[in-house]
Chain A
Amino acid sequence: MKNYLLIIACLCFVMSSQLRAQSRSVSGTVTSEQERTPVPGVNVVLKGTVTGTVTDLDGRFQLSVPESGGTLVFSFLGFVTEEVFIGTQSVINMVMTADIRQLSEVVVVGYGEQNRRDLTGSVASVKGDDINKLPVASMDAALQGRAAGVLVTTPSGTPGAGINIQVRGLTSLSASSQPLFVIDGVPMIQEDLSGLFSGGQATNSLADINPADIASIEILKDASATAIYGSRGANGVVLITTKRGQTGKAKIDFNAYYGMQDVTKRIDMMNSGDFLRLMDEAAAQDNRFLGRNYPDNYVSDIWGFDPDDPDLQNTRWYNEIFRPAPIQSYDLSVSGGSDVARYFASGSYFKQDGVQPGTGFERLSGRINLDAKVNNWIDVGTSMMLSRTVQDRTINDNSLYGVVINTLAGDPLMPVYEADGSYADPFDYFGWWMLDNPLLIANEYQRFTNTTRGLATAFAELKLAKGLTFKSTASIDYTQLDDEAYTPSISREAGNRNVKGFGVYGNTQDFTWLAENFVTYSTKFGERHSLNAVAGTSFQQSTRNFVSINAEEFPNDEFLKLAVAANVTSASTSATQWGIASYFARVNYGFDDKYLFTFTARADGSSRFGADRRYGFFPSGSFAWRLGDEVFLRDIDVLSDAKLRVSYGVTGNQDGIGNFASRGLFSATAAYRQQPAFVPSQLPNPLLTWESTEQFNIGLDVGFANDRITFTADYFVSNTKDLLLNRLVRGLSGFKVLTDNIGSVENRGLELAANAVILTGDFRWSTSANISWIRNTVKKLEVDEQVLSDSHILAEGHPIGTFFLIDQEGVDPETGNIRWVDLNEDGAINSGDRRIVGNALPDFFGGFNNSFSYKGFDMTVFFQFTVGNTIFNHSRASYENLGWSRIGTGFPLPDGNNWTGAENRWREPGDVTDIPRASLENVNWREYSSRWLEDGSFLRLKNINLGYTFPNALVERMGLQSLRVYLQGQNLLTFTKYTGLDPEVNQNARDPRVAGSDFGTHPQLKSVSLGFNIGL
């Protein structure tokens, strides 16, 4: 779009000769409101005359007007036309605002672009401006709440960790319901390639991309839009377009921000005195209800403390493991070009220090995008990116040696360090839960994942005949990832293994190539027919090599490299490969610009499937009716646009299964007595084929008041069948499961999105909002009611991520005990009493954004919300132990401290509370029970940004083109009933079937940062 603008600007600049019939001169500069940059090529016309000019490359104009003045009209494609009464002014500076007639924007679709007014499918667009400057590591985090139907969840606050995106619900039961990410036409390798165990969180390969390089993101949602990606479109497609050079003067932008982050919340734990009092009360309650015979102050006396001693050690563990830490980003880009060549080059540095010691994320990246005109019928270009990321990691989530998990019930009587400066050992204190000092784990363990990523595309576009072009692209996506970890000799983990430290080195190298060739034909015939057709091929192959080395016995804990280790315990290399061969075509046909049809088909062959079932065919069709252009609606003034869209199609998925899933295999990786062994590793399934999703979509786009208000509604039903899933097989085969096509899942949803410009003029206020209701239901399974874990089940008629727990009906006011539900009425409460008690998916979610500007000031306030999901607060089972000592009654040793919420525990008959009585014995504690279920709904002030753009005159005196400074807050406010660290949490980020548990997960972060954007 901008390209066109600038070309026009240049042409106009050349032709800028004009009549000078009058004597008075008016001059000024035109800038854009959004980018604060000069706008060249703007038509400036004296209203009611032919007198006019266009702005030059710096946005300046000069025009002779009559002495009497008049009215100037500023108009330019893509901007709202403005009129200014000249009066006696001789300088008129105009700030032009982008035309919010979104329906006229150009939208990137697979293998081409389309005008939004011609779209027949459902496509959401997010502008680069909205995400470029957010204080987040990756652009997927920036998408949160921005587009209807797109649920972005951040499973943890771990810097650089993976993020889950669901476009229109969970379609797949196997590992992946993530959409396909395509950057400048290249389907990216987007998996977690790290082999380092760090708990439930994945690394994020999208964080290799610098968000500031992104010009726009399109999210293809319905089958009409995604079918061009055929087998890989079932989960939606996210198209990322990076910035490219524009013809015109060089544009240099420097953006920077620096801020401080902290966790959104810490658990408020009891102090040492209250903890001791709780323990003593537990003994007293046991005397009363269990007939025990403990003396007064039983526990505090055994432990040797006085609860009222003011000098008690009182360690605040959550304050020890979380402390404010900086986040910073610096980004420099240069772009420009001539008629024959255009360039965009950028370099950036991003660094996020960990709020929890031992974590952090750092990225250095560079990009060069080039476009050149070889002659009048050949264009060539490249997009090249190279980045280096370093993720500093600790173990977290449900892991023995996680930092947060060991902190959960930290004993306040235990110091972090002993008097001699060494780390205190939890086994010298009074918490059973803590296995090792969390600060030792955070500070002394070393775990790094270093990634070097190169993404390069070269293309040539040939204009073969009028309307006929051929485009050929060759691309490489190369990742070189190193994992390095060292477990220090002073850790309990190394001590238990009786080794002086142990280390691991892992390397994953992924080389993916892509070759695509397609022709595009575009024509109009007759008076009212328009046709656009695309057909092509795509081949992609990925080869992945792995190295893994383990070693132990290090001279001291300063080293990380394995060369210093005395004993290499194992070393191995491995590899895997897959490929896809694809053929695709799309036809857009428009009649009278009002009746628009799109037909798309793609055939994909995958190396993962059985030879006879290898190819899948994925067609779609859609129709749009531009109602607003019909005679009967055209005269309704308030209605400026209306379009009805209907689509239906089939897309596929092959992710989440092994590269050789269809074959019967003997693994050669086993050994017995250090000699190789073949072990059957997989049953054959020659019939294995694509998972496919049929989706029906009906949508309506309307605009009112010259599109000051626009509204989009979509309703969809999608059915995924032949799910790629492990099917239970008879164990007497020696296997439990076989990868097969079984079962189906349905997603139904309603998405609403609205944009409105509420106020214009000096004080501008625009707003946008989206909300989505999505119902996910497992329709059919090979075997119903599959218990997936201690907390989850997969059952027909219920959504993916359903909790299956022992249930309870609150605390009995008379006894202080939980009333457990004895479902099978066998007199005992155990796993036989589990039932379905909720699910991890929200009822609805969305976001709303308000932008205000007044003169140079601007402010955006962005809220995001998720409502109706349930969280299994497994962490609370640890810090709401109420004194239970799981090693028996010989010595009171609870899991550890309790949170202050446990002050609301039952104490006397008649107390009405939902927290049972304290006890040294296990009366009320059941780990996998609904006692720990909580409402996970939240409303969050995701981002607030207050900026000031300095006036041009001042900026020019400073020798700059533009200058904006801003103060930005991320996640500043969260409204929720959830009692855990943060409601946005998922301990098992890799598997949606067991989503929604919080167990030692690094919480989300909030930040305040100060930044500036300079145009040079």
Chain B
Amino acid sequence: MKKILSLILMIAAVSSCDILEPEPFTALDANNAVVSGASAQTVLRGAYAAMQHPDYYGIEYICNNDLIADNAIYQGFFDSQLELDQMAVPFANLWVNNAWFRIYRVISIANLLIAQVPDLEDPNLSDTARNRILGQAYAIRALAHFDLLRYFGEHYDAGSSFGIPLVTEPILGEIPDITRASVADTYSLIMGDIQEAESKLQGFNDVGAMNYWALISLRSRVNLYRKNYTAAFNDANTVIGSGRFSLVGDLVGVLYSTSTSAETIFDLEFNDQDQSSFNVFLIRRDEYNVDSRLLAAFEPGDRRRELFDFLRNANRCFKYPDGTGADNAKIFRLAELLLIRSEAAAMAQQDPNAGLDDLNLIRQRAGLAPLTGFSTMDEFVAALLQERRIELSYEGHRFFDLVRFNKIQEVLGINENFRRILPIPRDELQVSDVLVQNPGYETL
């Protein structure tokens, strides 16, 4: 009997500690994420992986821009895209609500690196490597804040108080309630981060990452949006003048293939095991079919027209042709920088012909005859917008361009000026006490 009792006690005493402390097999505790140079590199790659999300550069951030504008039309299943196509975006729009936090997730990873990498003790981490991690973190943070500002803040108005909430610290416990910064403060954070990154990224030329030239390109683009044309011109000039990049002659076979090309400044890279969604949505589905107005805008003989074809009852864009989803997202490429330099030159000097050469470089690459000159700034702007539209279609620029030039009513027929930007997401307003909606959207 005693034996049995001791047996019972033994069984009852089986320690329950083990079964209550299982290890997550495919994840690690957040506190242990950045503990060495190698793990910091892995977290940095996580920032790029987070940028790859379909809500961000995986497709939607880019193609929704063309959808809102006159490049793409919705003929598919998702109401979210329908609302964008019609530019009647409620604050409950699915993509608006998801893109917001997806972009902030990229910022949160950058913040973790910015906070922890400087003090990381790792003898195997060289100063150069440490600087490149930090430089990319700052550059990514700048890019992500700018991307938020372009959709959700009044980026075109330097005096506006409707910037975006700026997050510069890693959020580990309680989530702070952060009010919207002014547009000027948003820009100054972005410019500060770019400046912070500039020295750290010197000599870093990897076109699959936020390299030095991508950083300078970002600053050029930001300054263009701010109408700081001289600064935009100078940075574009630096990148173009570096001689590292050249326009690609073969559009179908090289430029719009799954690899980076001589024109690439920064591609967010994808492969068949880490897929982008462009091909699925543009070719297999009907979310971003081609607007007939875009096709009508092509001049005869334009080789870029070859990137469009009629398939399964719809005009489709073949800039992302890979069936295995290995198409990269083109974040910065030389053609954009040429167009920036063209625009910045003309606008800075108020000379309609100051940017003609750059514009013609793009035209001639597409097999079109060079333009001979413009008599007015309006003519130049029309030609610039036409060229940007054709060259950068389905790469996420058209709507922003029309906003920058205040042409959404004229071109898109959007009469309500507040629709130049999107609403702050409903989900975010529901959990914030300090966030205010963009003017015009409050009552919708």
Give chain A's interface residues, CB within 8 Å of chain B. 400, 427, 432, 462, 464, 470, 472, 496-499, 515, 517, 519, 537, 539-541, 552, 569-570, 574-581, 605-607, 614, 659-660, 663-684, 728-736, 783, 787, 790, 824, 826, 828, 830-832, 886-887, 891, 893, 927-928
Contact = CB atoms under 8 A, between A and B. Distances in A.
B24 to A, nearest CB: 5
Contact of A674 (B16, B22, B271, B428): B271
Interface stretch (B4-12, B185-193, B220-228, B249-257): B4-12
Interface in B283-334: 283-285, 312-314, 323-324
B26 A669 contact: yes
B98 interface: yes
A893 B286 CA distance: 15
Given A578-B22, A668-B28, A832-B90, A731 B324 contact: no
Contacts of B90: 830-832
B39 A678 contact: yes
Contact of B284 (A496, A581, A680, A886): A496
B14 to A, nearest CB: 6
B49 to A, nearest CB: 4
Contact of A826 (B20, B165, B175, B444): B444
Interface of B: 1, 4, 8, 11-12, 14, 16, 18-31, 33, 39, 42-43, 45-46, 48-50, 52, 75, 79, 83, 88, 90, 92, 97-98, 100-101, 104-109, 112, 165, 167, 171-173, 175-178, 208, 269, 271-274, 283-285, 312-314, 323-324, 425, 427-428, 430-432, 444
Given A677-B46, A887-B314, A581 B274 contact: no
Contacts of B39: 678
Given A663-B29, A670-B46, A678-B42, A498 B323 contact: yes
Given A576-B25, A678-B28, 14 more contacts: A427-B313, A498-B324, A569-B272, A581-B19, A607-B19, A659-B22, A674-B273, A677-B49, A730-B178, A731-B428, A733-B175, A736-B101, A831-B79, A831-B83
Contact of B11 (A472, A581, A660): A472
Q: Which 4 A-B pairs have the closest CB atoms?
A: A579-B19, A581-B16, A731-B101, A734-B105
A684 B30 contact: yes
Contact of A730 (B30, B177, B272): B177
A660 B24 contact: yes
B30 A666 contact: yes
A671 B274 contact: yes
B50 A679 contact: yes
A180 to B, nearest CB: 18
Nearest to B165: A732
Contacts of A540: 19
A327 B26 CA distance: 43
Contacts of A472: 8, 11
Contacts of A824: 444
Nearest to B314: A887
16 contacts: A464-B1, A517-B12, A539-B19, A574-B25, A580-B19, A581-B19, A581-B20, A667-B27, A670-B45, A672-B269, A673-B45, A677-B43, A679-B105, A731-B428, A735-B101, A828-B88
A679 B100 CA distance: 17
A102 B129 CA distance: 79
Contacts of A665: 24, 27-30
Given A427-B312, A517-B11, A927 B79 contact: yes
Contacts of B29: 663-666
A537 B12 contact: yes
Contact of B108 (A607, A733, A893): A733
Contacts of A666: 27-30, 33, 43, 46
B46 A614 contact: no
Nearest to A579: B19
A659 B23 CA distance: 10
B45 A676 contact: yes
Given A677-B45, A680-B109, A734-B101, A499 B19 contact: no
Nearest to A571: B273
Contacts of A887: 75, 313-314
A733 B171 contact: yes
B430 A783 contact: yes
Contact of A787 (B23, B92, B105, B177): B92
A909 B20 CA distance: 71
B27 A886 contact: no
Nearest to B280: A496
A663 B30 CA distance: 8
A577 B26 contact: no
Contacts of B28: 665-666, 668, 678
Contacts of B101: 731-736
B178 A728 contact: no
A541 B14 CA distance: 13
Q: Name, among A660, A681, A734, A783, the residue most crowded by chain B CB atoms within 10 Å (CB to CB).
A: A734
B273 A569 contact: yes
Q: Name, among B26, B101, B431, the residue most crowded by chain A CB atoms within 10 Å (CB to CB).
A: B26
Contact of B88 (A577, A580, A679, A830): A830
Nearest to B273: A570
Nearest to A660: B24
A464 to B, nearest CB: 7
Q: Name, among B46, B107, B274, B323, the residue most crowded by chain A CB atoms within 10 Å (CB to CB).
A: B46
Q: Name, among A497, A498, A552, A614, the residue most crowded by chain B CB atoms within 10 Å (CB to CB).
A: A497
B318 to A, nearest CB: 12
B20 A607 contact: yes
Contacts of A614: 20
Contacts of B20: 579, 581, 605-607, 614
Contacts of B323: 496-499
Contacts of B427: 728, 731, 736
Given A515-B11, A787-B92, A831-B83, A734 B108 contact: yes
A668 B46 CA distance: 9
A679 B26 contact: no
Given A668-B27, A734-B171, A887-B75, A678 B33 contact: yes
A1015 B27 CA distance: 57
Q: Name, among A664, A670, A672, the residue most crowded by chain B CB atoms within 10 Å (CB to CB).
A: A672
Contacts of A732: 101, 104, 107, 165, 167, 171, 175, 178, 428
B100 A731 contact: yes
Contact of A470 (B4, B26, B49, B312): B4
A675 B106 CA distance: 18
Contacts of A886: 75
B430 A681 contact: no
A826 B440 CA distance: 13
B407 to A, nearest CB: 24
A570 B283 CA distance: 23
Contacts of B25: 574-577
A579 B19 CA distance: 5
A89 to B, nearest CB: 58
B30 A680 contact: yes
A893 B314 CA distance: 12
A58 to B, nearest CB: 42
A928 B109 contact: no
Contact of B45 (A672, A731, A787): A672
